[in-house]
Amino acid sequence: MTLRAVIVDDEAPARDKLKRYLAMFEDITVAGEAANGRDAVTLITKQQPDVVFLDINMPDMDGFSVLQALGDPLPAEIVFVTAHDDRALQAFDVHAFDYLLKPVSPERFDRLLRRLRERLIPKTDLGLRIDGLLEALPAPIHYLEHVLVQAGDSAQLIRVDRISRIESSRNYLDVYADGCSYRLRGTLENMLARLNPLRFARINRSALVRLEAIREVHPWPEGEYRLLLDDGVRVTWTRRYLDNLPAGWLTKP
């Protein structure tokens, strides 16, 4: 299956750069490009692409106005490509697939395309041989349901769904659950490998959080995010670790 893309940006160099990136992938073609919002609406309606790479700040209609004109449901997956980091939450509100900050590196674009393929290419088009390969894989990992922590002179089992966050402290981990903190020996890397990646994510060098414990997400300088957790603590999801976010998580209602 070949994915069809449309590029919308009022700056020709930005459109050319995206075309160069897309040319590196044999299963993606550029169905058209537009230099303004009005032309974008016409082009997207006519071409019905699989994905639209959409700039936000354009002279006649901004990217969100384009989406409003297209109506609901949107005819394609939307990837915002912008130099401004202050519209990310609005992008998630309209269920954008991704939000790329200019300048976009080849590595970041490659990660985006891999996730896009997983969502858009049907399993049958990826090859029926995959079914046989999956049967030969090792048994799936059994993720932790409880964590054994120190509680005074004794130990205590804590369910992972009670944990808000885990922070590293030298060779130890501080586990925060139900407003209390507990300590156990270990590293963030080893702990994260034993937790379900759909429920926990590493947000910075020294902390990981349970995604369901996040109550608020606010844009922060340098493309980062400030999180309010269910225990009232605020932590920062740094830009380096944003790729740890499970695909589509922030687009869920």
What is the pLDDT at residue 160? 93
Segment 14-40 mean pLDDT = 93
Measure the N-to-C terminal CA separation of the chain; round to a whole number of Å.
30
Q: Do 94 and 192 belong together in one domain?
A: no
pLDDT at 136 > cutoff 50:
no
Does the structure show a pLDDT above 50 at 135?
no
* Residue given tokens 């106005």 in the structure block: 65
The answer to whether position 140 is within a domain reads: no
Domain check: are 125 and 162 in the same one? no
What value does the mean pLDDT take over residues 243-250?
62
pLDDT digits (tens, 9 = 90+) for 32-50: 999 999 999 999 999 999 9
Instruction: Name the DSSP class of 141.
Output: P
Q: Are 111 and 247 in contact (CB under 8 A)?
A: no
Looking at residue 250, its pLDDT comes to 53
For residue 25, is it within any domain? yes
Query: Is pLDDT at 249 greater than 70 in this prediction?
Result: no
User: Residue 239 belongs to a domain with what CATH number?
Assistant: 2.40.50.1020
**CA pair distance 233, 228, nearest whole angstrom:** 6
81 lies in the same domain as 113 = yes
Both 26 and 125 in a single domain?
yes
Q: Which residue has the tokens 């992938």?
A: 25
3-state secondary structure of 132: helix
Measured between alpha carbons, how far is 21 from 115 in angstroms, rounded to an integer? 15
Q: Are residues 122 and 52 in the same domain?
A: yes
Do the domain assignments include residue 217? Answer: yes
- For residues 250 and 206, the model is more confident at 206
Which of 104, 129, 154 is at the close of a domain? 129
Asked whether residue 141 is domain-assigned, the answer is no
- Across 5-9, 14-18, 112-116, least confident range: 112-116
Mean pLDDT of 185-203: 88
3 state SS of 106: helix
Whether 56 contacts 68, CB under 8 Å: no
The verdict on residue 134 lying in a domain is no
Among 89, 93, 111, CA closest to 220: 89
Say if residue 44 is in the same domain as residue 85: yes
Query: Do residues 150 and 120 share a domain?
Result: no
Encoded tokens for 226? 């400030």
109 by Cβ neighbours in 10 Å (0-12 / 13-18 / 19+) ranks as buried
137 domain residue, yes or no = no
Count of domains observed in the chain: 2
Q: Which of 82, 98, 129 is the last residue of a domain?
A: 129
Domain boundary pick from 97, 129, 161: 129
| Helix, strand, coil % over all residues of the chain, rounded to 5 | 35, 35, 30
Residue 29 domain boundaries: 3-129
Residue 247 lies in a domain: yes
CATH number at residue 32: 3.40.50.2300
pLDDT single digits (tens) 59-114: 889 999 999 999 878 888 999 998 887 887 788 778 888 888 888 888 889 988 88
Q: What is the mean pLDDT of residues 48-55?
A: 94
**Does any domain span residue 139?**
no
Q: Is the pLDDT of residue 133 over 60?
A: no
